[in-house]
Amino acid sequence: MNTRLQVEHPVTELITGIDLVEQMIRVAAGEKLAIRQADVRLDGWAVESRLYAEDPYRNFLPSIGRLTRYRPPAEGRTGDVIVRNDTGVTEGSEIQMFYDPMIAKLCTWAPTREQAIDAMSDALDAFVVDGIQHNMPFLAALMRHPRWREGRLSTAFIAEEYPDGFHPVAPDAEEKTILCAVAASVEFVRCQRLASLSGRLRRAVARDCREWIVRLGDDYVAASVTGEGPANCAVVVDGGASLAIASDWRAGEPVWRGTVGARAVVVQIRPRLNGISMAWRGMSIDALVMEPHVAKLERLMPTKAAADTSKFLLCPMPGLVVSIGVAAGQEVKAGETLAVVEAMKMENVLRAERDVTVAKINARQGDSLAVDAVIMEFA
């Protein structure tokens, strides 16, 4: 249960049934507090996840932009679970660099702590936000972290559990199977839709939409689809058992809901070049579903090397240049301040990672910079 009851009022309200904001307004209007301490009864458990416009893969640096999609999970009570979302934005809202990065407080309530955490995990899987980077992958990963689930927490949790920074959760063997099955079913839907379009040569679904190779991350996995339609089919992954797939997902929808075997699954689906990106339970992974002969050729494609940016100081987040601490031609020692960038009410000091000589200054005090804009170059 929440230990900061006076601050995080949504979880307090969920476990007490008392509208604290209403009580504050009434007291501010001169009324006496209508409840006594003895009237307060704690019921069940509540979890709150703060959705922030921060990139967990870049040390939680701020992110700005327009919310091209903002679709929270449905609020209300379903069975023993309550979902509540306190927010002040809508689809189309602009997240700017001048304000606090919090977008929403997503809360779940359930009779037990484990149920409340599982409900939060499901709610995060169904929460669609596009247009900015956000901390939802971290929150989703947190809900399945053993230490979090056991309640062994401290303010040093992130530093202790993610000393090298946060990275997407790696799927285990069972989760890979589920993701491959979902990816194959998505491609099955796409192929059937294409085959039904007028003006196209109708290709045999049995030949073209049944046998696939799924590239999941760096793994290549065989997947076979059986059944008459996407709402009721089965997938055999890597020669394993047949998994019944039931879903009413339609092409273009950002959330795939259904069952894989006996397991209920909610996966976020986003298109990417020649494939899809999948987000589920803190996992973020690309899937390419290819015909076997295409996969054979795809394996031969060279891997694109990352660009060398060691001679540039890049702006790590969108922000305002507060100051430039060096000049062109200056020799700088590791740890010295190069520049200060302000974003979302915080000043971020950018320091030299090694001894360098400044060759060129590309930004000036007062400039507004985009993420990865070149602030200066080194010799």
Minimal CA–CA distance to 212: which of 232, 182, 241? 182
Report pLDDT for 205. 44
Report pLDDT for 232. 76
The CA–CA distances, whole Å, from 86 to 35, 59, 132, 220 equal: 24, 25, 19, 42
Tell me: pLDDT of 197 over 80.
Answer: no
Q: Average pLDDT in the 250-262 region? A: 93
Tracing tokens 């060398």 back to the chain, one arrives at: 308
Return the structure tokens found at 78. Answer: 């379903």
Q: How far is CA 106 from the centre of its chain?
A: 14
Tell me: pLDDT of 300 over 60.
Answer: yes
Residues designated as active site: 4
pTM of the model: 0.84
* Higher pLDDT among residues 153 and 208, named by residue: 153
Q: Average pLDDT in the 255-283 region? A: 94
Q: Average pLDDT in the 312-341 region? A: 94
Map out the domains of the chain with their CATH numbers: 44-161 (3.30.470.20), 173-298 (3.30.700.30), 312-378 (2.40.50.100)
Neighbours of 299 (CB within 10 A): 10
Lowest mean pLDDT among 54-68, 73-87, 120-134, 184-198: 184-198
- 2 Cβ neighbours under 8 A, 6+ residues apart: 8, 11, 12, 15, 46, 48
Q: How many angstroms separate the CA atoms of 323 and 339, rounded?
A: 6
Minimal CA–CA distance to 104: which of 66, 50, 62? 50
Report pLDDT for 163. 94
Residue range 47-87, pLDDT digits in tens: 999 999 999 998 898 898 999 999 999 999 999 999 999 99
